[in-house]
């Protein structure tokens, strides 16, 4: 006796159903991101730029060239000349050379020439001198976030059909999205306005 019923897995059945439905079209209104909570994206949201868009530190410490700290220990520290401090929110106006370091705070932009950051806990400022003792060696790339490490330019950050929760809204604001075109039916299109 032949079977009259063919069962499909739920995902395949849903895809088959949606393939036969027309795409919804909605009228839209522009709303501020503060009112986007609970809305549903009507299209993929793509990152317009990488995040972060510069190399930054993940710790408070000293920006260094990793090779200048090779072999540094408590009993045999490395000594580096302090050439400045990286101001928060600004680009450093100097470059790290051989045997040099710069004070840097969490989230600060890594100066040119630096490829790692030594945590503050593994250093000591020598009184009366512009010299820093380094008690621990670091590897190239240690304690830093590279350009695009969190989000690559052109990456889909929020796919179509996603309900916007506080986490998604926070991510969108970090990328510079400030307003949305949304319909009365809670579908919305993202507008990139800075």
Q: What is the pLDDT of residues 20-29, one digit of tens each?
A: 887 666 555 5
**Cα–Cα nearest to 39, from 174, 178, 157, 166:** 166
CATH number of the domain enclosing 120:
2.170.190.11
In a domain, 66, yes or no: yes
Question: What pLDDT band is residue 193 in, cutting at 50, 70 and 90?
Answer: very low
| Whether the predicted model's global pTM rises above the 0.75 cut | no
Task: Give, rounded to a whole angstrom, the gap between the first and last alpha carbons of the chain.
Answer: 66
Number of independent structural domains in the chain: 2
Is the pLDDT confidence value at 192 over 90?
no
Q: Are residues 187 and 154 in the same domain?
A: yes
Distance of alpha carbon 186 from alpha carbon 13, whole angstroms: 25
Exposure string over 13-32, b if 16+ CB within 10 A, otherwise e = eeeeeeeeeeeeeeebeeee
The predicted pLDDT at position 31 comes to: 67
The last residue of one of the domains, among 145, 163, 182, is 145
The predicted pLDDT at position 176 comes to: 87
Pairing of strands 144-145, 56-57: antiparallel
CATH number of the domain enclosing 156:
3.90.105.10
The H-assigned helical ranges of the chain are 10-19, 166-174
Question: What pLDDT band is residue 124 in, cutting at 50, 70 and 90?
Answer: very high
Quick check: 172 and 33 in contact, CB under 8 A?
yes
**123, burial (CB in 10 Å: exposed 0-12, middle 13-18, buried 19+):** buried
Q: Are residues 66 and 141 in the same domain?
A: yes
**Higher-pLDDT residue of 129, 48:** 48
The predicted pLDDT at position 189 comes to: 53
**Mean of the per-residue pLDDT values for the chain?**
86
The predicted pLDDT at position 41 comes to: 78
Question: What pLDDT band is residue 2 in, cutting at 50, 70 and 90?
Answer: low
Distance of alpha carbon 69 from alpha carbon 50, whole angstroms: 30
Q: Are residues 141 and 155 in the same domain?
A: no
Domain hosting 178: range is: 26-51+148-191
Quick check: 111 and 103 in contact, CB under 8 A?
no
Highest mean pLDDT pick, 78-82, 124-128, 163-167: 78-82
Q: Output the six-digit token pair for 56.
A: 């930054």
Q: Chain centroid to CA 109: how far? A: 13
The H or E element that residue 100 is part of is strand 100-104
The predicted pLDDT at position 106 comes to: 93
């Amino acid at each position: 006796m032949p079977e009259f019923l063919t069962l499909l897995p739920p995902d395949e059945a849903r895809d088959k159903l949606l393939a036969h439905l027309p795409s919804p079209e909605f009228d839209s209104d522009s709303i501020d991101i503060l009112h986007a909570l609970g809305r549903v994206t009507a299209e993929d949201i793509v990152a317009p730029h990488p995040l972060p868009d510069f190399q930054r530190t993940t710790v408070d410490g000293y920006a260094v060239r990793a090779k200048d700290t090779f072999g540094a220990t408590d009993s045999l520290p490395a000594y580096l000349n302090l050439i400045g401090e990286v101001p928060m929110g600004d680009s450093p106006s100097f470059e790290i050379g051989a045997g040099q370091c710069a004070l840097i705070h969490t989230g600060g932009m890594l100066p040119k020439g630096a490829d790692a950051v030594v945590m503050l806990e593994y250093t000591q400022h020598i009184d009366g001198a512009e010299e820093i003792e380094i008690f621990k060696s670091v590897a190239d790339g240690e304690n830093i976030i590279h350009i695009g490490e969190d989000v690559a330019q052109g990456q889909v950050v929020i796919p179509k059909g996603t309900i916007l929760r506080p986490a998604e809204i926070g991510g969108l604001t970090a990328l510079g999205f400030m307003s949305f075109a949304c319909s009365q039916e809670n579908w919305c299109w993202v507008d990139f306005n800075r």
